[in-house]
Amino acid sequence: MFETYIDYLHEVLGINSFAVANIVETPSAKWQVALDSAQTTNESMELLRKMFSAIEIDSKQIELMQVSSLRELRSGSQIVFVLGSSLATPDSLGHWQKLESTRLLFSYHPQELIAKPELKRQAWEHLKSLAKAIKDLS
């Protein structure tokens, strides 16, 4: 077992840098993942790693923020992938939104996918849209 959640992120998922709420910001990142902090578990983090692996994104390259509201999104990133339907309106899931100069794509939190596997097809379409946008940044 790991002493802290940060140890888990580093040792198991290989995530070396991330932001938690507004405590640490990493404005140089081109894209980030914002997770609903209330739903995050070790199991959901493992599914998130697999999701990114499926679209050929190395989990070590993920800039992770755990947030409880969209007001906490204050980065200079060009793209933020927002995971958690509690952070979105029903109409925004799977659709690109704009917050100042940042493009946001809303999708389901991995924990929601574990609880409701029927949402996985929609989440896969969201991931493919994210992958295309990230590729376009290069």
**What is the pTM (predicted TM-score) of this model?**
0.74
Within 13 Å, how many C-alpha atoms sit on residue 66's CB side?
12
Report yes or no: 133 and 79 within 8 Å, Cβ to Cβ.
yes
Which residues are CB-neighbours of 95 under 8 A, at least 6 positions away? 105, 106
What is the Cα–Cα distance from 88 to 112, expressed in whole angstroms?
A: 13
SS3 2: coil
Per-residue pLDDT of the chain (138 residues; tens, 9 = 90+): 556 655 655 566 666 554 444 333 444 467 888 888 888 888 998 999 899 999 888 767 777 888 888 878 765 778 888 989 888 888 899 999 988 888 999 999 999 999 999 999 999 999 999 999 988 877
Domain range holding 96? 5-137
Nearest to 128 by CA among 110, 105, 112, 103: 105
CATH number at 9 reads: 3.40.470.10
Number of structural domains the chain divides into: 1
